[in-house]
């Protein structure tokens, strides 16, 4: 009865570790941050050594809290940011900093992939068109621009899977994260041999794919000594951050009418599916879900990231709460000011890393509150573009809010108006670390399968209690700005 599950989420801004008891309650948690490296415009990198140091410290902090309460970890699940490339050499050492999900340097490699494999065939195989942030284009970039590093490459891991390798000495991945590499066949849930041949990449570069709830290894003695966790603790494959968060929110392909809206660094709409049904144009992603089904995922790259950028670069001395209050005082539509949130290129529906952000309609009458309000509206309208693509494919009828931005009723109401979908809020907003812990429940013997886990631990939710804003005119101005010379017409929605 004193056993607990551990969940680790290796995010973009930091790592979070928590422990759950049998009632699904958090009984210990800790976190640590690490820097984001942007050595050139469009580049986004992190040092895996920074991840490792932060994760081990957070695990140690949680282990100490549990020991004080005489609670014992019985299994550990993993989650983390998707798509990144962690390149390892023959000795298992990191070759260069990891290239992240929001790295936009691989436009040429995306074009190369589409020359190698027709887009419609690629979408049929992997559920997605070629995308700059995926791991496959990163490998081609490494081969072209850093041939000495590519020559040393023996294993290409995703971020959370690198952490699993560090903890256990075993390399493995699972479908929800692996389907964001760009080389996983969604019919077989294994690496696509035809695509590997077309790309000239050996199968040996990639770890085996196991179910999301599978034990991939056990905690190494030296890691146990560093953290205070039990030697041999089972480590479970887990899920990509969005899939793990979906598990925590109770989102399953068995309940396809409910999806989620995440306002984190990126903005994400997640909608479960029972089968692999992609958008024929590849404007949104189709990935495997950690519950054994599939899900659609539409991504606005800069959501909370855009707001954080504004605070850091434009108003560093102003508390975020004050900025949000100023935005709330501005009328719907921001008095004619529009914001395109493409600060890091854009995923859905454009899949164009070259897009850039802009304000349109700026006038002398506008103040800081207008800038923030239009930023919030621009992110919401961008997510509206995502919802317009997804709704005919999946029949999603409501969204459950999550992510740091879900604490703003104003922002959620803007997203509800922009997507045309009612938004639910939960009493607590469990995230990816929570879902990672739940995915370890089967290994701990707490449940027979993931479906039982999802059903048992789904959080309660209530409808958003906030006046619905009127964004119709703002939407029309947003559309006009999208079709301005700022955006190439062939990339427009």
What integer pLDDT is reported at residue 491 of this predicted model?
42
% of the chain beyond a pLDDT of 70: 98
Mean pLDDT of 375-387: 98
- pLDDT, residue 489, reads 42
**How high is the pLDDT of residue 255?**
81
Q: Which is more confident, 141 or 265?
A: 141
Specify the CATH class of 252-429+460-493 in words: alpha beta
CB neighbours (10 Å) of residue 33?
11
pLDDT of residue 485: 63
At residue 51, the pLDDT reads 98
Residue 310 binned pLDDT confidence (cut-offs 50, 70, 90) = very high
Q: What is the pLDDT of residues 173-184, one digit of tens each?
A: 999 999 999 999
Domain ranges across the chain: 3-243, 252-429+460-493
Residues 6 or more apart whose Cβ sits within 8 Å of residue 311: 318, 320, 323
Task: Give the pLDDT of residue 39.
Answer: 95
Query: Who contacts 265 (Cβ-Cβ below 8 Å, separation ≥6)?
Result: 11, 12, 13, 102, 302, 303, 304, 305, 308
Give residue 211's pLDDT: 98
Question: How do residues 389-415 score in pLDDT, each as one tens digit?
Answer: 999 999 899 999 988 899 999 999 999
Structure token pair of residue 348: 């859905």
Of 298, 306, 351, 312, residue with least CA distance to 114: 351
- Matching fold, domains 3-243 and 252-429+460-493: yes
pLDDT at 224 over 70: yes
241 is catalytic: yes
Give, in degrees to the nearest 5, the angle at Cα 115 between 112 and 119.
110
pLDDT value at 490 more than 50: no
Q: What is the pLDDT of residue 486?
A: 52
What CATH number should be reported for the domain whose range is 3-243? Answer: 3.30.420.40
Check residue 415 and give its pLDDT. 98
Q: What is the pLDDT of residue 492?
A: 41
Which pLDDT value is given to residue 429?
Answer: 72
Q: 9, 177, 241, 385: which is the annotated catalytic residue?
A: 241
Comparing CA positions, the residue from 126, 116, 19, 143 lying closest to residue 70 is 19
What distance in Å separates the CA atoms of residue 239 and residue 50, rounded to the nearest whole number? 21
pLDDT of residue 430: 85
Report residue 161: phi and psi, to 5°.
-70, -30
Q: Are 450 and 247 in contact (CB under 8 A)?
A: yes
Q: Give the model confidence (pLDDT) of 41-99 as tens digits.
A: 889 999 999 999 999 999 999 999 999 999 999 999 999 999 999 999 999 999 999 99
Determine the Cα–Cα distance for residues 385 and 342; give it in Å rounded to an integer: 13
Give pLDDT tens digits for 316-360. 999 999 999 999 999 999 999 999 999 988 989 998 878 899 999
Question: What average pLDDT does this structure show over 413-434?
Answer: 92
Which residue, among 117, 158, 147, 113, has the nearest Cα to 132 in the 3D structure?
A: 113
The mean pLDDT of 238-245, rounded to a whole number, is 94
> What does 132-185 look like in DSSP terms, one character per residue?
TTSHHHHHHHHHHH-HHHHHH--EEE-HHHHHHHHHHS--EE-HHHHTTTS-EE
Is residue 97 a contact partner of residue 37, using CB atoms and an 8 Å limit?
Answer: yes
**CA–CA gap between residue 95 and residue 419 (Å, rounded):** 42
């Amino acid at each position: 009865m004193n056993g607990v599950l551990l969940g680790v989420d290796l995010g973009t801004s930091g790592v979070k570790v928590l422990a759950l008891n049998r009632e699904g309650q958090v009984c210990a948690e800790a976190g640590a941050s690490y820097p984001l490296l942007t050595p050139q415009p469009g580049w986004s990198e992190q040092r895996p050594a920074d991840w490792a140091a932060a994760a081990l410290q957070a695990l140690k902090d949680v282990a100490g809290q549990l020991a004080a309460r005489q609670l014992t970890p019985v299994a550990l699940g993993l989650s983390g940011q998707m798509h990144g490339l962690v390149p390892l050499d023959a000795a298992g050492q990191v070759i260069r900093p990891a290239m992240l999900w929001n790295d936009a340097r691989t436009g040429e490699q995306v074009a190369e992939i589409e020359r190698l494999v027709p887009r419609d065939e690629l979408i049929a195989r992997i559920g997605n068109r070629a995308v700059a942030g995926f791991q496959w284009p990163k490998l081609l970039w490494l081969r072209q621009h850093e041939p000495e590093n590519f020559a040393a490459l023996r294993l290409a891991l995703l971020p959370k899977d690198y952490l699993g390798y560090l903890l256990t000495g075993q390399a493995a991945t699972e479908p929800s994260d692996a389907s964001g590499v760009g080389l996983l066949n969604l019919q077989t849930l294994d690496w696509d041999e035809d695509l590997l041949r077309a790309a000239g990449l050996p199968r040996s570069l990639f770890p085996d794919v196991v179910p999301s709830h599978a034990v991939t290894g056990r905690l190494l003695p030296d890691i146990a000594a560093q953290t205070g966790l039990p030697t041999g603790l089972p480590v479970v494959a887990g899920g990509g951050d969005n899939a793990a968060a979906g598990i925590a929110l109770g989102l399953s392909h068995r309940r396809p009418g409910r999806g989620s809206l995440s306002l984190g660094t990126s903005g994400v709409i997640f909608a479960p599916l029972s089968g692999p049904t992609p958008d024929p144009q590849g404007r949104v992603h189709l990935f495997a879900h950690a519950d054994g089904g599939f899900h659609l995922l539409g991504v606005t790259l800069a959501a909370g990231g855009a707001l954080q950028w504004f605070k850091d670069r434009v108003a560093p001395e102003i508390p975020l709460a004050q900025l949000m209050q100023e935005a709330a005082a501005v009328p719907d539509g921001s008095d004619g000011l529009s914001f395109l949130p493409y600060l890091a290129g854009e995923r859905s529906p454009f899949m164009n890393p070259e897009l850039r952000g802009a304000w349109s309609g700026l006038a002398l009458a506008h103040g800081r509150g207008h800038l923030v309000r239009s930023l919030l509206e621009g992110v919401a309208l961008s997510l509206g573009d995502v919802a317009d693509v997804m709704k005919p494919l999946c029949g999603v009828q409501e969204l459950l809010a999550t992510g740091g931005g879900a604490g703003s009723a104003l922002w959620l109401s803007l997203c509800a108006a922009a997507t045309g979908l009612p938004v639910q809020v939960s009493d607590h907003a469990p995230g990816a670390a929570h879902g990672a812990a739940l995915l370890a429940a089967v290994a701990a013997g707490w449940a027979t399968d993931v479906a039982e886990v999802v059903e048992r631990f789904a959080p309660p939710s209530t409808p958003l209690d906030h006046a619905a804003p009127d964004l119709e005119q703002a939407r029309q101005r947003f559309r006009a700005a999208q079709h301005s010379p700022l955006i190439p017409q062939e990339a427009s929605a």
